[in-house]
A and B are shown apart, each in its own frame.
Chain A
Amino acid sequence: MAWEKRNGSLYYYRSVRDGERVRKEYVGSGPFAELSARSDDVLREQRHLEHLEGRESVARVEALAEPLCGVDEVTEVLARAHLVAAGYRRRNGEWRLGRG
């Protein structure tokens, strides 16, 4: 979103996403354009805060889940090692007692 100076006057344009593309939309000039620009600023700030809060909430959830992820891998390796050491092997995803 930007002000553009043409022939000594300021004109306000707003960027609008249209699918993959971003196009420039003419809003106007004078007090009405200033009001629109301020309103856009507030909306942009609000979106930014929501983005930060959203990222924070995801980070919080990730932080809770993360310690157990490491344990999961370790326990799987240990369980498998015990079964293989006891003579088992997987056949088509099923554990069976091997011969040797």
Chain B
Amino acid sequence: MDREAVVEIESAENLETEIDRLRDLSDKAEAGDKEARRELRRLVERASPAAIAEAACVTRKAEGMLIKTISAGEPHLQETLRVRLRDMRAEIAGDNPTGLEAMLADRVVAGGLLVEVLEALISAQYGRDVGKGARSSPTYILQQSKILESATRRYMQAIQTLARVRKLQANTRRVQYNTQINVRP
């Protein structure tokens, strides 16, 4: 295994540990544990920038995969899609987004793209001019539709979360830290 792969696995494991800890402390703090809330604040300030950057990196990778699928290796189309998504991301994230807002905007854009791709893949099988061999049986179209339904639900949830974070963060003091999110996938 090369060094890059080892680093990637280690960072994924670290992210998982941090996420488990954040989830656990959030549960306790929401249940009224004041010490857990203090610890959560410390952890959010200390660990979340790295976790946000890691999540943003994974989102960009997933987005890159989707772009490759849509463009079918066509470089011009790939570039056009990248520019379109970058503009969408900038528009959704708004001016001076926090690291969390930027990550949530990434997720909204990638989720929207996934829904578009899945809709195109599935609806292509309903066409009249589709040959019998290219059309999946209703059982499989139903399975694909369920995956699309789940992706759509998660996309809507991403929009809702971003809107909620924006609305609620506007009423609270911001935790200021710098998060590096690599723009190139």
Contact = CB atoms under 8 A, between A and B. Distances in A.
Given A81-B43, A83-B164, 15 more contacts: A51-B137, A54-B140, A58-B143, A62-B147, A67-B61, A71-B62, A72-B154, A74-B54, A78-B48, A78-B52, A78-B100, A85-B29, A87-B172, A88-B168, A89-B30
A100 interface: yes
Contacts of A50: 136-137
B78 interface: no
B41 A71 contact: no
A64 B137 CA distance: 20
Interface string A41-69: 00000000011011101101110110111
B42 to A, nearest CB: 9
A70 interface: yes
Contacts of A22: none
Given A53-B136, A57-B144, A65-B118, A85 B110 contact: no
Nearest to A58: B143
Nearest to A75: B107
Contacts, number: 145
A85 B44 CA distance: 7
Nearest to A54: B140
B40 A81 contact: yes
Contact of A64 (B19, B55, B69): B69
A48 B110 CA distance: 35
23 contacts: A57-B140, A58-B144, A61-B144, A64-B65, A64-B69, A71-B62, A72-B111, A74-B51, A74-B54, A75-B161, A77-B26, A78-B52, A78-B100, A79-B104, A81-B40, A81-B48, A84-B30, A84-B37, A86-B169, A87-B37, A88-B172, A89-B29, A100-B34
B93 interface: no
A82 B162 CA distance: 12
A78 B103 CA distance: 10
Given A78-B100, A84-B29, A86-B168, A72 B157 contact: yes
Contact of B164 (A70, A81, A95): A95
Contacts of A73: 19
B49 to A, nearest CB: 10
Contacts of A27: none
